[in-house]
Amino acid sequence: MKRRTQIALIFGALLLAAGIAFLFRPAPVPVQTVEVRRGELQEFVEEEGKTRMHDHFVVAATVSGILRRVTLDAGDHVHAGDAVAWIDPAPIDPRQTAVLEARLKAAKSAQDQANALADRARADAAQAAQDLARSRELQQHGIISKEALDKAATIDQLARKQLQAALSAAESASYQVEEARAALLVQQDGSSHLPTALISPVDGRVLRLIEKSEKVVAPGMPILEIGYTPRLEIVTDFLTRDAVRIRPGMSAVITDWGGDTPIPAVVRMIEPGAFTKISALGVEEQRVNVICDFAGDSHGMEDGYHVETRVIVWQGQDVLLVPSSAVFRSGSDWAVFTVKDARARKTVVQIGHRGEVYWEVLSGLQPGEHVIVHPSAETDSGIRVQESPPR
């Protein structure tokens, strides 16, 4: 009886301890899980960009004068051959005309002097040549010495060089006369009285007016800028470490342009030169422009519109996917928490390509397994968990 009583007491104590442990055991940690599956994955790089007319034309003043007020406005359509601005000739400045006339007279006087020096050098050269011929004949008959013949040859050579220099000076003087005469003609033609039209080189739209009001302009001064509207492109500056992964012909998607539907595009080129840009945090970054073309309709966008450019650098069709929110660092490895028998199990995985929401799993998981997304600090390998689908 004593032995049975002891056994009963021991059994009752064990039951009591088990009941107490059951009552005070930790509650399962609620977690959100998703199923590992296969699917399509895209890896991309994304940056802010803007639209740009492929062809820009700056219409500049072709003559000096007074620019009339430009009647066009930014956005107006123009056609090739249209007059987009007018320049009236500037009135003649009498003082400038007098200066140019005096300069022409001075150039003519210098030309007369140079021609006279050339005539003198020509005569000296002819005389030296005759003296050399006579000295050769006398030296053959033994009348003069070899030294006298050499002296005559030297004088002849010097005279020919002086003639060449005099002829060059005369030619230069003639050019100066032509220059002075041309400047005077330009000044006199400025009094012609017909305004000069500035012509649009292409069909397009006025992008901006550099000069709108009446003012004095000089040749080459820009007046307005015209864009060739049928060729609209997207220019986006990417970090150079991202741009090295981009190749011409890659697919791109234009988002955040104001519409609900992403616009397809194609990478046309990566500019060969990078540049330094200061980020919003004041950090110097090396960036390079990537140019994309619309694959279809540009949906009414014009020059300088803000967009987001997403270039797809890799995509796969049958890829084992895991949410990026389920992956965390474990030392130098990547890991996830899987759920088996209502308990969390830390599993080391090998990650491949990375998309915006999902990452590629190369090893460590199988399709159908459940992984915990957004694991909290309470989540640890071996603890009991209570699964629920993500919200």
- Return the pLDDT at 224: 94
Q: With contact defined as beta carbons under 8 Å apart, do 166 and 121 qualify?
A: yes
Q: Which helix (H) or strand (E) holds 324?
A: none
**pTM over cut 0.75:** no
- Return the pLDDT at 141: 81
- Return the pLDDT at 385: 83
Q: Is CATH 2.40.420.20 what the domain over 27-42+317-388 is classified as, yes or no?
A: yes
Extents of the domains making up the chain? 27-42+317-388, 45-53+229-314, 56-90+193-227, 94-189
Q: Which fold has domain 45-53+229-314?
A: Elongation Factor Tu (Ef-tu); domain 3 (2.40.30)
Banded pLDDT at 314 (limits 50, 70, 90): very high
Measured between alpha carbons, how far is 170 from 110 in angstroms, rounded to an integer? 9
- Provide the terminal-to-terminal Cα distance of the chain, rounded to the nearest Å: 61
Banded pLDDT at 181 (limits 50, 70, 90): confident
Q: What is the CATH number of domain 56-90+193-227?
A: 2.40.50.100
% of the chain surpassing 90 pLDDT: 44
Residue 184 pLDDT > 80, yes or no?
no
Q: What per-residue string of b and e applies to 172-204 under the rule 16 or more CB within 10 Å gives b? A: ebbebbeebeeebeebeebeeeeebebebbeeb
% of the chain surpassing 70 pLDDT: 92
- Return the pLDDT at 20: 60
- Return the pLDDT at 320: 94
Measured between alpha carbons, how far is 71 from 212 in angstroms, rounded to an integer? 8
Measured between alpha carbons, how far is 114 from 121 in angstroms, rounded to an integer? 10
Banded pLDDT at 284 (limits 50, 70, 90): very high
Measured between alpha carbons, how far is 88 from 265 in angstroms, rounded to an integer? 47
**Distant-in-sequence, close-in-space partners of 4: CB < 8 Å, separation ≥ 6:** none
- List, for residues 105-162, the tens digit of each pLDDT value: 888 998 899 899 999 999 999 999 998 888 888 888 888 888 888 888 888 888 888 8
CA atoms within 13 A on the CB side of 183: 16
Q: What per-residue string of b and e applies to 329-356 under the rule 16 or more CB within 10 Å gives b? A: eeeeebbbbbbeeeebbbbebebebebe
Residue 21 pLDDT > 80, yes or no?
no
